[in-house]
Amino acid sequence: MIKRSRTPPADPLTYFIHGQRFYACDCALMHEGFDQEVKDFTVYGAAVMSALASELFLKCLGVIESGPVSRTHNLNTLFKNLSPKTRTLIERRWDEILAGKKHLIDELEQETGTPIPRRLTDALHVGANSFESLRYPELSPQANFFLTDLPHALLLAILELKPEWQRELAFHVPMPAPDSKWTGAIIRVPDNSA
């Protein structure tokens, strides 16, 4: 009989801290201080960091709720595995963040001619596998990523559920306001039919 080692239970706090590391990288890459050429060049890297941070924060929430860590990278699956109460909390935070960026999203939609999903469930449907597809040059041209704000919403939801973790918060991301200028890393597939 082969003896298998048991994986120790996951610590949700370590997922919370680790997720912040990747979210900080995303924020640094898309910082308003960089010129647009730098942002355009690094957008895929920033989106990968954002997707990975989202994955880690969703896994943190999953461990808080049920214990074991899900091994999927699919953001939609990780979200759907959470309780309805936690999903509602995340959606509320998402809506609050997007409300402060409405002017930016409206401008971007007009500029690109591409509708940007406003509902979290729609954005998750489109970008569920973005962590996997954005990492590879042969897959990234088919990727759509509208989940830049998901790590922020997840971080706020985690802190609402675990206020004692506030002391573990490594940095602060302000809520967007009507004068915000930062859209983050948004990737869409160009329409080649023209």
Q: Domain coordinates of the chain in residue numbers?
A: 12-168
Beta bridge partner(s), residue 187: 145
CA 140 vs. chain centroid, Å, equals 17
Beta bridge partner(s), residue 145: 187
Give the global pTM. 0.87
- Encode pLDDT of 8-38 as tens digits: 568 999 999 999 999 999 888 877 666 778 8
In the predicted model, is pLDDT for residue 194 greater than 50?
no
- Listed in sequence order, the residues at least 6 apart from 178 whose beta carbon sits closer than 8 Å to its beta carbon are 100, 103
Token output for 133 = 């597809």
CA 193 vs. chain centroid, Å, equals 29
